[in-house]
Structure 1
Amino acid sequence: MRVAIMQPYFFPYIGYFSLLQAADMFVILDTVQFQRKSWMKRNKIITFKGGSTYIELPVKKAPLDTLINQIVINNEIDWKTTLFSQLLVYKKAPFYNETINTVNSVLNEDTNKLVDINKNILLEISNYLRLDCEIVVFSEMKIKVEDVNSADEWALNISKALNATEYINPPGGVSFFNKQKYKDSNIELKFIKNKLRQYKQFHFNFIPGLSMIDVMMFNSKEEIRTMLTDYDEI
């Protein structure tokens, strides 16, 4: 079984979804410390003048050591109206209606938890793209995991508990993970780097690595599914 494990991101970029496309099970790791300036609560889209800007999920203030699964969305702020207003930049994009319907389905969930809405993003977009990957939240799994002695052992010990044969991760972890630990546990460690294939973003210069929303606005489901497999295995 191929397993991918990531923290929950807000409308993440296509490389994140390449992991879902490649994995049999995707584990949302929500029992580690929340990072306020991270992709967990924001991402980027294009602007009317070209360039990019943030779309953001406002969260309530919490101590620095607060775990991800304890982070609460600040629904006292009308952030959904702001988000849909920002997405009007895509009004003339070829797949605007389909994409907006998917975003609507995500935001219709009545929740005040960051983990819940970010999980729903993965579920809705995976359903839209017909990705066959089981998506689970770590804190809800009720599995026994060995004690973690270093940061790179979270993924290792969860993979062992799930009897995974392969663990896949974005390329940013190449220098972070101890490959020998995985080898000793009979787990193949692989890193996949999406090539971020260029596509037309109106008349603007192409900006790679924006939110998956941007990819969906300009590309058909079939095109996106091809893009998801356009990566190098390291």
Structure 2
Amino acid sequence: MQPYFFPYLGYYSLIKNTDRFILFDDVQFIRHGWIERNRILKPGEGWQYIAAPLEKVTLGTKINQVKIKSTEDWRDKLLRQLEHYRKRSPFYSQTLEVVKESIALDTDSIVELNKNILIKTCEYIEIPLTIDVFSSMQLEIEPATHAGEWALNITKALDGSEYINPTGGVDIFKKEQFDTAGISIKFMGNNLTPYSQRRGVFESGLSIIDVMMFNAPEQIRTLIDDTYLL
């Protein structure tokens, strides 16, 4: 998976169901995706973005070359955006500490920041995480002829027997290639079962921050396990 910023529950479902999780950072960065931002509740109704500001990059810049803008005090801004949770969220204090630990890493790399976010949040939720960054692995893999072949070639290079992908990526893969290589491929989604956000309308698919605000770690693990396969 590409390295996401405080991702949603489905991302953690993939983590929990894999023996090895690889941050794929050696492809083109697309601005305004999930790499530098995600969504939380906003006061009143609806949702708002939280984000790490990035330096401007040219078209074709790889994810591992993208830098966080050091001139902006984005950490304090993010923490201020969470303050409205204090009155309604039973796990506000615990979640705030996890967020602070997650963003405290002294780095200008969005990849390293997001890796640390995953490490700290998985520690809190108590799910196992074995994580690597693709560009640092020095793997010798076969060239990919189409987008779905990256995963196949990486899995082959690691002597893996099964690859799991989110359900949204079904169309880019050629199952027969995996069958020929003796590798099983599965597509996993999360049902995003509603939990109490202590307001009228449930906002689905928000950042793990929102999930942690309203659920104890054991409840979060139950939500993470609420998956389906295609």
**Per the shorter chain, which TM-score range?**
over 0.9
* CA distance in 1: counterparts of 2:129 and 2:137, whole angstroms: 16
Deviation per CA, 1:95-151: give whole Å up to 9, x if none. Answer: 111111001101111000000100001100111112123011011112211111111
* CA distance in 2: counterparts of 1:54 and 1:69, whole angstroms: 23
Counterpart check, 1:139 vs 2:139? no
Aligned-pair CA distance for 1:64: 0.9
**Structure 1 residues 50-65: aligned runs within 5 Å:** 50-65=45-60
Partner of 1:3: none
Aligned-pair CA distance for 1:24: 0.4
Partner of 1:42: 37
RMSD, aligned CA: 0.8
User: What TM-score do you get using the length of structure 2 for normalisation?
Assistant: 0.98
- What code does the residue aligned with 1:230 have? D
- What code does the residue aligned with 2:124 have? Y
- What code does the residue aligned with 1:215 have? V
* CA distance in 1: counterparts of 2:117 and 2:179, whole angstroms: 33
Aligned-pair CA distance for 1:197: 1.0
Deviation per CA, 1:67-87: give whole Å up to 9, x if none. Answer: 000000002011111101111
* CA distance in 2: counterparts of 1:131 and 1:162, whole angstroms: 22
* CA distance in 2: counterparts of 1:165 and 1:133, whole angstroms: 18
- What code does the residue aligned with 1:121 have? I
Partner of 2:5: 10
Aligned-pair CA distance for 1:153: 0.8
Counterpart check, 1:226 vs 2:225? no
Partner of 1:89: 84
Partner of 2:157: 161
* CA distance in 1: counterparts of 2:45 and 2:13, whole angstroms: 26
Uncovered stretches (5+) of structure 1, i.e. residues with no partner? 1-5
Give secondary structure in 2 for the equivalent of 1:53.
Answer: strand
**Structure 1 residues 1-234: aligned runs within 5 Å:** 6-92=1-87, 93-234=89-230
Count of residues in correspondence between the two structures: 229
Conservation of the 8 A alpha-carbon contact between 2:119 and 2:129: no
Give secondary structure in 1 for the equivalent of 2:171.
Answer: coil
* CA distance in 2: counterparts of 1:115 and 1:168, whole angstroms: 21
Aligned-pair CA distance for 1:204: 3.1
4+ runs deviating over 2 angstroms: none
- What code does the residue aligned with 2:100 have? N
- What code does the residue aligned with 2:119 have? L
User: What TM-score do you get using the length of structure 1 for normalisation?
Assistant: 0.96
* CA distance in 2: counterparts of 1:146 and 1:68, whole angstroms: 21
Aligned-pair CA distance for 1:37: 1.7
